[in-house]
A = this chain, B = another copy of it.
Amino acid sequence: MRDFTHDHSALALNTATLGHNLPGHGAGWAPERIIDECAARGLAGIVFWRREIGTRAVGIGERVRAAGMQVVGLCRTPYLVGAEAGTLDEVKASIDTAAALGAPVLTVVTGGTEPGTKGVAESQKILADRVAAVAGHAAGCGVNLALEPLNPMFGGNRTVLFTVADSLRVCDMVGAANVGVAVDVYHAWWDTGLADSCAAAGPRILGYHLCDWLADTCDMLLDRGMMGDGVADLRAIRAAVERAGFTGPCEVEIFSARNWWQRDPREVLDVMVERFRSLC
């Protein structure tokens, strides 16, 4: 395993960390400004959200690579199951955006329990069918699909995958080489089975998302912590994903309405680099 301590060549920014330009949050940086600021700090790459890309995927991807970085991934597909599921055509369109951007990984947040069913088992099967229905299209575009399990507090209307083990079970049902899993500290830090699940995942780990779990988390969606400010065992989790063979960049994704989204994005990036070098 590489020793990344005091090195941030493996660090990537998920643009959500800079506030998504939601009302009252973030500095309103266009993708070009984000690219320049990340390149100036020596980051490995960037993960964008579809809302920021619009129809400019090709140009933004080219600019990232011209700046010496990678497009690490794109967030995310429409929901595939649940009351708010998109159509398969909408899912394929998100795959096309990832391809145009040159993103090797598209994150899948599944959506919630399928209407008319209870629990999660039936929804996981329906999810597998729908992922299977788009996996070939994604493979043809050179895009991998990362099934991201979410913290169980997001059950009901946002996800039917709660652990890496859940995601792997659906991967097995799908049986496609370009379908894997994303491991996110915020969602998975509590799981005492995580190291075993990562080992079982092996090369199917397509992304590693960093933040921290604040002991006094006060909002389900928008109160993530900067690395070091919470209780997650960040070194143990990174060791688990790297023991499994993951060599991609670590992607910092911090939704933080009460703290980091209130700050100057340049400060956020500087702190992110420093914490990554010293703690992750």
Contacts and interface: CB of A to CB of B under 8 A. Distances in A.
Interface stretch (A7-15, A31-39, A113-121, A258-266): A113-121
For this complex, into which size category does the number of interface residues on chain A fall?
Answer: 35 or more
Interface of chain A: mostly helix, strand, loop or mixed: loop
A29 interface: no
A276 interface: no
A248 interface: no
A22 interface: no
Given A119-B232, A119-B233, A231-B118, A156 B192 contact: no
Contacts of A120: 190, 192
B230 A156 contact: yes
Contacts of A169: 192
A5 to B, nearest CB: 16
A217 B112 CA distance: 12
A215 interface: yes
Interface in A142-185: 151-153, 155-157, 162-163, 165-166, 169
26 contacts: A112-B231, A113-B215, A113-B231, A117-B231, A118-B232, A118-B233, A118-B236, A119-B232, A119-B233, A119-B236, A121-B233, A124-B192, A151-B153, A152-B190, A155-B189, A155-B190, A155-B213, A156-B213, A156-B215, A156-B216, A156-B231, A157-B215, A162-B190, A162-B192, A165-B193, A220-B220
Given A169-B192, A220-B220, 13 more contacts: A118-B231, A118-B232, A118-B233, A119-B232, A119-B236, A121-B233, A151-B153, A152-B153, A155-B190, A155-B213, A155-B231, A156-B231, A157-B216
Interface of A: 83, 112-113, 117-121, 124, 151-153, 155-157, 162-163, 165-166, 169, 189-193, 213-217, 220, 230-234, 236
